[in-house]
Amino acid sequence: MGTRSALPRQQRKAVFTADLFERHRKMAVPLSRELRARYGRRAFPLRKGDTVRILSGSYVGREERVAKIDLRGYSVTLDNVTGKTADAKLKPLAIRPSHLVLTRLNLSDPWRRRLLKVPEVEETSEAETAKTGEPAPSKDGSTAAKSDAEAPVRKRARTSKAPTEAKG
Protein backbone atom coordinates (compact mmCIF):
# COMPACT_ATOMS: atom_id res chain seq x y z
CA MET A 1 0.00 0.00 0.00
CA GLY A 2 1.31 3.42 -0.92
CA THR A 3 4.96 4.15 -1.42
CA ARG A 4 8.12 3.87 0.57
CA SER A 5 9.62 6.94 -1.05
CA ALA A 6 10.15 10.19 0.82
CA LEU A 7 9.83 12.26 -2.35
CA PRO A 8 6.73 14.50 -2.32
CA ARG A 9 5.92 13.75 -5.97
CA GLN A 10 5.93 10.00 -5.24
CA GLN A 11 3.72 10.58 -2.18
CA ARG A 12 1.21 12.53 -4.29
CA LYS A 13 1.33 9.91 -7.04
CA ALA A 14 0.54 7.19 -4.46
CA VAL A 15 -2.53 9.13 -3.29
CA PHE A 16 -3.87 9.77 -6.79
CA THR A 17 -3.23 6.25 -8.16
CA ALA A 18 -4.39 4.31 -5.07
CA ASP A 19 -6.77 1.37 -5.52
CA LEU A 20 -10.24 1.43 -3.96
CA PHE A 21 -9.27 -0.79 -1.03
CA GLU A 22 -6.30 1.51 -0.28
CA ARG A 23 -8.54 4.59 -0.52
CA HIS A 24 -11.02 2.93 1.88
CA ARG A 25 -8.22 2.46 4.41
CA LYS A 26 -7.09 6.07 4.02
CA MET A 27 -10.65 7.19 4.78
CA ALA A 28 -10.24 5.97 8.36
CA VAL A 29 -11.49 8.38 11.02
CA PRO A 30 -10.45 8.50 14.70
CA LEU A 31 -12.93 7.06 17.18
CA SER A 32 -14.35 9.08 20.08
CA ARG A 33 -12.90 8.43 23.54
CA GLU A 34 -15.86 6.26 24.48
CA LEU A 35 -15.59 4.08 21.35
CA ARG A 36 -11.81 3.91 21.67
CA ALA A 37 -12.13 2.53 25.20
CA ARG A 38 -14.87 0.09 24.19
CA TYR A 39 -13.25 -1.38 21.06
CA GLY A 40 -9.54 -0.91 21.76
CA ARG A 41 -8.89 0.79 18.40
CA ARG A 42 -7.86 4.33 17.61
CA ALA A 43 -9.36 4.71 14.13
CA PHE A 44 -11.73 2.86 11.82
CA PRO A 45 -12.74 3.29 8.15
CA LEU A 46 -15.93 5.25 7.57
CA ARG A 47 -19.11 3.63 6.34
CA LYS A 48 -22.46 5.04 5.23
CA GLY A 49 -24.74 5.24 8.28
CA ASP A 50 -22.01 6.05 10.82
CA THR A 51 -22.52 9.12 13.01
CA VAL A 52 -19.64 11.60 13.15
CA ARG A 53 -18.85 14.86 14.95
CA ILE A 54 -17.39 17.72 12.90
CA LEU A 55 -14.17 19.14 14.36
CA SER A 56 -13.53 22.18 12.17
CA GLY A 57 -15.26 24.57 9.82
CA SER A 58 -18.54 26.44 10.12
CA TYR A 59 -20.38 23.27 11.26
CA VAL A 60 -18.00 22.53 14.14
CA GLY A 61 -19.50 20.50 17.00
CA ARG A 62 -22.46 19.10 15.03
CA GLU A 63 -23.12 15.36 15.00
CA GLU A 64 -24.50 14.11 11.70
CA ARG A 65 -24.98 10.81 9.91
CA VAL A 66 -22.78 9.91 6.93
CA ALA A 67 -24.88 10.09 3.75
CA LYS A 68 -22.24 9.38 1.09
CA ILE A 69 -18.54 8.55 0.88
CA ASP A 70 -16.55 9.69 -2.14
CA LEU A 71 -13.48 7.47 -2.32
CA ARG A 72 -12.31 9.13 -5.53
CA GLY A 73 -12.19 12.59 -3.97
CA TYR A 74 -11.36 11.47 -0.39
CA SER A 75 -14.41 13.32 0.96
CA VAL A 76 -17.56 12.59 2.97
CA THR A 77 -21.07 14.01 2.58
CA LEU A 78 -23.18 14.29 5.75
CA ASP A 79 -26.92 14.67 6.28
CA ASN A 80 -28.07 18.27 6.97
CA VAL A 81 -24.65 19.78 6.17
CA THR A 82 -25.19 22.00 3.15
CA GLY A 83 -23.79 25.08 1.51
CA LYS A 84 -25.52 27.66 -0.70
CA THR A 85 -24.73 27.90 -4.40
CA ALA A 86 -24.60 31.19 -6.29
CA ASP A 87 -28.30 30.90 -7.20
CA ALA A 88 -29.26 30.29 -3.52
CA LYS A 89 -29.84 26.53 -3.85
CA LEU A 90 -28.69 24.19 -1.08
CA LYS A 91 -25.97 21.74 -2.06
CA PRO A 92 -24.41 18.97 0.11
CA LEU A 93 -21.04 20.05 1.47
CA ALA A 94 -18.12 17.64 1.07
CA ILE A 95 -15.93 17.32 4.19
CA ARG A 96 -12.49 15.74 4.47
CA PRO A 97 -12.32 12.80 6.91
CA SER A 98 -9.48 14.50 8.83
CA HIS A 99 -12.08 16.97 10.18
CA LEU A 100 -14.31 14.24 11.67
CA VAL A 101 -14.50 11.98 14.74
CA LEU A 102 -16.63 8.81 14.81
CA THR A 103 -19.20 8.90 17.62
CA ARG A 104 -21.52 6.01 16.68
CA LEU A 105 -20.74 3.04 14.44
CA ASN A 106 -23.06 1.37 11.94
CA LEU A 107 -22.77 -2.29 13.00
CA SER A 108 -25.20 -3.78 10.47
CA ASP A 109 -22.31 -5.42 8.59
CA PRO A 110 -21.17 -8.80 10.05
CA TRP A 111 -17.62 -8.21 8.74
CA ARG A 112 -17.40 -5.00 10.73
CA ARG A 113 -18.79 -6.65 13.89
CA ARG A 114 -16.24 -9.44 13.56
CA LEU A 115 -13.37 -6.94 13.19
CA LEU A 116 -14.44 -5.06 16.32
CA LYS A 117 -15.25 -8.30 18.21
CA VAL A 118 -18.74 -7.04 19.07
CA PRO A 119 -20.87 -9.52 21.06
CA GLU A 120 -24.46 -10.14 19.91
CA VAL A 121 -25.95 -8.34 22.96
CA GLU A 122 -24.07 -5.13 22.24
CA GLU A 123 -24.96 -5.34 18.56
CA THR A 124 -28.67 -5.15 19.32
CA SER A 125 -28.24 -2.18 21.66
CA GLU A 126 -26.22 -0.31 18.99
CA ALA A 127 -28.92 -1.05 16.41
CA GLU A 128 -31.61 0.17 18.83
CA THR A 129 -29.63 3.37 19.45
CA ALA A 130 -29.29 3.98 15.72
CA LYS A 131 -33.05 3.58 15.16
CA THR A 132 -34.41 5.62 18.07
CA GLY A 133 -31.52 7.97 18.81
CA GLU A 134 -31.64 6.96 22.49
CA PRO A 135 -29.64 4.18 24.12
CA ALA A 136 -31.46 0.97 24.87
CA PRO A 137 -32.09 0.32 28.59
CA SER A 138 -29.76 -2.18 30.21
CA LYS A 139 -30.82 -5.20 32.26
CA ASP A 140 -31.19 -3.12 35.44
CA GLY A 141 -33.45 -0.64 33.61
CA SER A 142 -31.09 2.33 33.45
CA THR A 143 -29.62 3.85 30.32
CA ALA A 144 -25.92 3.64 31.10
CA ALA A 145 -24.49 4.85 27.79
CA LYS A 146 -23.26 8.44 27.82
CA SER A 147 -21.92 10.40 24.92
CA ASP A 148 -18.66 12.36 25.01
CA ALA A 149 -20.63 15.60 25.40
CA GLU A 150 -22.32 14.37 28.60
CA ALA A 151 -19.21 12.76 30.10
CA PRO A 152 -17.27 14.90 32.57
CA VAL A 153 -14.09 16.37 31.14
CA ARG A 154 -10.98 15.33 32.98
CA LYS A 155 -7.98 17.57 32.83
CA ARG A 156 -4.53 16.36 33.64
CA ALA A 157 -2.86 18.11 36.51
CA ARG A 158 0.17 20.00 35.34
CA THR A 159 3.35 19.37 37.21
CA SER A 160 5.34 22.54 37.49
CA LYS A 161 9.07 22.18 37.51
CA ALA A 162 10.45 24.19 40.35
CA PRO A 163 13.81 25.77 39.64
CA THR A 164 16.52 23.90 41.44
CA GLU A 165 19.23 25.71 43.34
CA ALA A 166 22.55 25.86 41.58
CA LYS A 167 25.18 23.68 43.16
CA GLY A 168 28.41 25.35 43.51
Residue 163 lies in a domain: no
Residue 98 lies in a domain: yes
Residue 36 lies in a domain: yes
Give the domain range for residue 96: 8-130
Residue 100 lies in a domain: yes
Residue 93 lies in a domain: yes
17 φ/ψ angles, rounded to the nearest 5 degrees = -105, 15
CA 112 to CA 24: how far, in whole Å?
13
The number of folded domains in the chain is: 1
Residue 143 lies in a domain: no
- Cβ-based neighbour number of residue 153 at 10 Å: 6
What per-residue string of b and e applies to 104-117 under the rule 16 or more CB within 10 Å gives b? bbbbeeeebbeebe
Residue 149 lies in a domain: no
**pLDDT per position as a tens digit, 93-136:** 999 999 999 999 999 989 999 999 887 765 555 666 666 666 55
Stronger pLDDT, 168 or 21, i.e. the higher one: 21
Across the range 26-38, mean pLDDT stands at 94
**pLDDT per position as a tens digit, 33-82:** 999 999 999 999 999 999 999 999 999 999 999 999 999 999 999 999 99
